Amino acid sequence: MKIRVDICKRLISEGREFRLEAEFRAENERIVVFGPSGSGKSVTLQCIAGLLTPDAGRIEIGERVLFDSAAGINLSPQARNVGFVFQEYALFPHLSVEQNIGFALQHAFHGRLDPLARERVSAFLAAFELEGLARNLPRELSGGQRQRVALARALIRRPDLLLLDEPLAALDPMLREHVRRELLELQSRFQVPMIIITHDPADAEALAENLVVFDRGRVTQILDLKDDAALLSGVSQRERVGRALAELFPVA
């Protein structure tokens, strides 16, 4: 899927001004947005989801224009069909695992599920290994389980694009390697393009097909790691990302 982002936004928090001027295009299925904290990654993701409105610019996924300040287009987050997995997962604390996952399918008025939706929720509970926890509240789950609930909740709506804000940061380091593999597997099973934020080079190495590097509110580099020349020359993706990052951040 083709993704084009070209936005600017001025934010003021605690008296300090932050300017985001982000522009990138990507055509691959797994786009990793990489950069130090405070470089504007998260703001960009929230602009794509419609949770923040850019001051100006344009956001396009596939053939759909989500935002275009010149044409006066600004779809609501509800209409964008973009899934969002928050860093701390933002599970609804008052709803059970089952109700969290089924949230997008619930009837808006009486909050119940029709039989078809119920079946779909059960299938998702099974697929994400959460069957035994259907009636538990989020606070009773481990970090890894919470993340699986957040992923299932976002994917059940069949989003056109899945945004993940630092999906691995809140997890035990022991778990990260396992979750990276899980994300790859999910991506091929659901065929959903993902934009993944991280500041961990290991995540970028494992997951990126496109690597978008942010620094101080700007995109400083875009790498396509999927082109054939690299594969033919026998250089692995891991090495390529490693080299690219070493060039960008020589001290680290």
Total number of residues that touch other proteins (CB under 8 A): 28
Catalogue the long-range contacts made by 98-105 (C-beta closer than 8 Å, 24 or more residues apart). Answer: 98/125, 98/134, 98/135, 100/138, 100/149, 100/153, 101/125, 101/130, 101/149, 101/152, 101/153, 101/156, 102/156, 103/153, 104/153, 104/156, 104/157, 105/156, 105/157
Decide whether 137 or 230 has the Cβ nearer to other proteins: 137
Among 50, 54, 193, 217, binds other proteins (CB under 8 A): 50
Residue 92 within binding range of other proteins, rule CB under 8 A: yes
Residue 47 within binding range of other proteins, rule CB under 8 A: no
Contact 6, 68 (CB under 8 A): no
Residue 146 within binding range of other proteins, rule CB under 8 A: no
Residue 117 within binding range of other proteins, rule CB under 8 A: no
Residue 57 within binding range of other proteins, rule CB under 8 A: no
**What is the amino acid identity at position 23?**
E
Among 38, 77, 143, 144, binds other proteins (CB under 8 A): 77
Residue 104 within binding range of other proteins, rule CB under 8 A: yes
| Neighbouring residues of 189: CB distance < 8 A, sequence distance ≥ 6 | none
Residues that bind other proteins (CB under 8 A): 46, 49-51, 76-78, 80-84, 86, 88, 90, 92-94, 103-104, 106, 108, 111, 137, 139, 153-154, 157
